[in-house]
Amino acid sequence: MNDKPSPNEQSAALSQSASLDLVLNTFDSRLKHLEQPEETSRFAWLQKKASFFALMIGILLSTISLFDIFWTKPRETLFRETEEFNKAVNAVANLRQNMIQLQYQSNNPQMVMAVNSMVTPQVLANIQYATTLLPRIGDQAGIPQLIVLISESLNIYDWKSADIFVERAIKVKYAVPSLQSEARRYKARLMFSTGKIQEGRKAFEDSLNVLRNEAGFGINGARAYIISDWAISEFAMGDCGVGLERIRQFMQYTLDPQIPPPSRAALISTLKSQIDQLQLRDKRCPVPTELQSLQ
């Protein structure tokens, strides 16, 4: 009797053995998975979440840094430089105010001249400092501050700085008409001071035209003030004929009943005094008889 298994029986046995090994391996793998602590998978999940949050925090910090670089710091710089500009303007205004008080209170011309010689360099230094800040502060410079700087630049014959401030004042947008008119009046004064007569006349006309449609009570007082400045500029340049025409125009405005009597008297007195001062200098363009009789 032959006990040796047949080939078919051997193949079946091997197949059963392989199937049993596969089942055992699968079971073993599942058992190992069950025995593995859940913390490992949770840790992996937390690690992924932590990486995501770290990325978001990095993006947020980068955004904050960019905001600080491109917005916060420039704004802080703008505020600081605007404050410095206003300090320079206030310094110029205070120095001039102190000089005016000294001139009215002192009877010593030599002392007034000595103080003025000390004050002028300080005024000039503040004007130059304000000039360097002007391009950086943009529209933060208002017409009132610029007019202070223009006036003092004219007083110390700093035509270059005066021209810079005048052009900036004229370009200020959304200012009230009275301030726009003042900016052009100072441009006219600068033009006359530098011998540009036609440009000065055009600037005076522009100053009046800004107020053309204004109908406020007593607005002709402001127009009369512009005309008086125009007349003095013409007289200073020796054009007595045009100056006389402006004085007649000035008289028409001052006769407006809406102008309060004290304001009218101040306008007339100031114009007479300025013409008298010009007479002391060059004996040209005497006070017109029409103005002499005007009260």
DSSP 163-227: HHHHHHHHH--S--HHHHHHHHHHHHHHHHHTT-HHHHHHHHHHHHHHTTT---TTHHHHHHHHH
Of 41-50, 140-149, 174-183, 259-268, the one with minimum mean pLDDT is 41-50
163 and 195 assigned to the same domain:
no
DSSP letter at 259 equals S
In a domain, 19, yes or no: no
Count of domains for the chain? 2
158 and 246 assigned to the same domain:
no
142 and 166 assigned to the same domain:
yes
89 and 199 assigned to the same domain:
no
Pull the structure tokens for residue 219. Answer: 């607005």
Q: What is the pLDDT of residue 95?
A: 86
In a domain, 16, yes or no: no
138 and 250 assigned to the same domain:
no
In a domain, 10, yes or no: no
Q: What is the pLDDT of residue 198?
A: 95
Mean pLDDT on 269-282: 85
Q: What is the pLDDT of residue 211?
A: 92
In a domain, 66, yes or no: no
Asked whether 231 and 189 are in contact (CB, 8 A), the reply is no
154 and 230 assigned to the same domain:
no
Q: Which residue type, as a one-letter code, is found at position 282?
A: D
The domain in which residue 184 lies consists of 179-295
Out of 118, 147, 175, a domain closes at 175
Give which of 168, 260, 251, 187 is closest to 219, Cα–Cα: 260
190 and 294 assigned to the same domain:
yes
In a domain, 144, yes or no: yes
What is the Cβ-side half-sphere exposure of residue 278, based on CA atoms within 13 angstroms?
Answer: 21
Asked whether 249 and 227 are in contact (CB, 8 A), the reply is yes
Q: Which residue type, as a one-letter code, is found at position 62?
A: S
167 and 191 assigned to the same domain:
no
pLDDT in tens, 152-196: 999 989 999 999 999 999 998 888 999 999 999 999 999 999 999
Out of 120, 148, 175, a domain closes at 175
Q: What is the pLDDT of residue 111?
A: 81
183 and 291 assigned to the same domain:
yes
pLDDT in tens, 195-252: 999 999 999 999 999 998 888 888 999 999 999 999 999 999 888 889 999 999 999 9
Q: What does pTM read for this prediction?
A: 0.72
In a domain, 91, yes or no: yes
Residue 28 predicted with pLDDT over 90: no
In a domain, 39, yes or no: no
* Beta-carbon contacts of residue 210 (< 8 Å; ≥ 6 apart): 177, 180, 181, 184
In a domain, 94, yes or no: yes
pLDDT in tens, 96-119: 888 888 877 877 788 878 878 888
- Detail the DSSP E strand segments found in the chain: none
Out of 140, 175, 210, a domain closes at 175
Residue 135 predicted with pLDDT over 80: yes
* 57 or 221: which leads in pLDDT: 221
Q: What is the mean pLDDT of the chain?
A: 80
138 and 216 assigned to the same domain:
no
152 and 224 assigned to the same domain:
no
